[in-house]
Amino acid sequence: MTHSSRFSSSRFTWPARLLHWSMAVLILAMLPIGAAMVTSLGHYHALVALHRPLGAAILVLAIVRLAYRRRHAPPPLPADLPPWQQRAAHASHVALYGLMLALPLVGWGMLSAARYPVALVGPLVLPPILPGSPALYATLRGLHTVLAYALFGVVLAHLGAALMHGLIRRDGVFTSMASWRVGSGRG
Ligand code: HEM
Ligand code: HEM
């Protein structure tokens, strides 16, 4: 009953898939790097020095991805997917995009408020985006933690939904993102 087949342009285009998977790797690395920074005493500086440029890369890629998405609409979800699941998919994607933009901006903003230089690689240093303020730093530092946990939660739900599509419904949603072949047609 649930094995609806999806024909024309049933896959994300290859640039959309490349962006999805490279960002998934970056984000899945950032969560434990951030957690290790605040829980272990060792390697703090090396970890933060990695955390800043990876976070900045996520911000740039998220903007590129949203701009690309406006011109290349994603494939539609299967018509027989219950409406609440369509809404949940949409809401979770909005949350994922929002958090991919908000977390790096809050990270950048909190270091600006702490008057701490946001050094990326080599001589590349981002300018402050907020005035120096200990109170603002404290608020944004707390927000960064809350948003990181929220992202982790939504990623877990997303993973569960992807596996539900791939293993139980087998409705083509999983392969629309997980197929390796170049091109965007039937796969
Ligand atoms: C998607 C991007 C990002 C993710 C997923 C992420 C995730 C995290 C996580 C999980 C923590 C530990 C939070 C805690 O337990 O309190 C953390 C801390 C931190 N993050 Fe991020 N972060 C991101 C982007 C950034 C960016 C762009 C910057 C700076 C430019 C940044 C700067 C920091 C700093 C300074 C800390 C705390 C270090 C400390 O207080 O010891 N983050 N981040
Ligand atoms: C940090 C990890 C991840 C993030 C931030 C993420 C984010 C996203 C976003 C924002 C979309 C919506 C794309 C769009 O409509 O423009 C999406 C779609 C998708 N993702 Fe992920 N993803 C992650 C990991 C994964 C993993 C590990 C899997 C598979 C096990 C996966 C499978 C899929 C699938 C199948 C779709 C297509 C859903 C649809 O057609 O509506 N994702 N992902």
Structure confidence by residue, pLDDT tens digits, 37-92: 998 878 889 999 999 999 999 999 999 999 999 999 999 999 999 999 999 999 99
Contacts of 70-78 spanning 24+ positions with Cβ under 8 A: 72/13, 72/15, 72/16, 74/12, 74/16, 75/6, 75/9, 75/10, 75/11, 75/12, 75/176, 76/6, 77/173, 78/4, 78/6, 78/169, 78/171, 78/172, 78/173
Residue located nearest, by CA, to atom 2 of ligand 2: 24
Q: How far is the CA of 103 from the centre of ligand 1 (A)?
A: 8
**Is the predicted pLDDT of residue 7 greater than 60, yes or no?**
no
Q: How many Å apart are CA 144 and CA 152, to the nearest integer?
A: 12
* pLDDT band, residue 183 (cuts 50/70/90): low
* Distance of alpha carbon 152 from alpha carbon 25, whole angstroms: 13
Mean pLDDT of 124-132: 97
Smallest-distance ligand from the CA of 162: 2
Segment 12-36, tens digit of pLDDT: 999 999 999 999 999 999 999 999 9
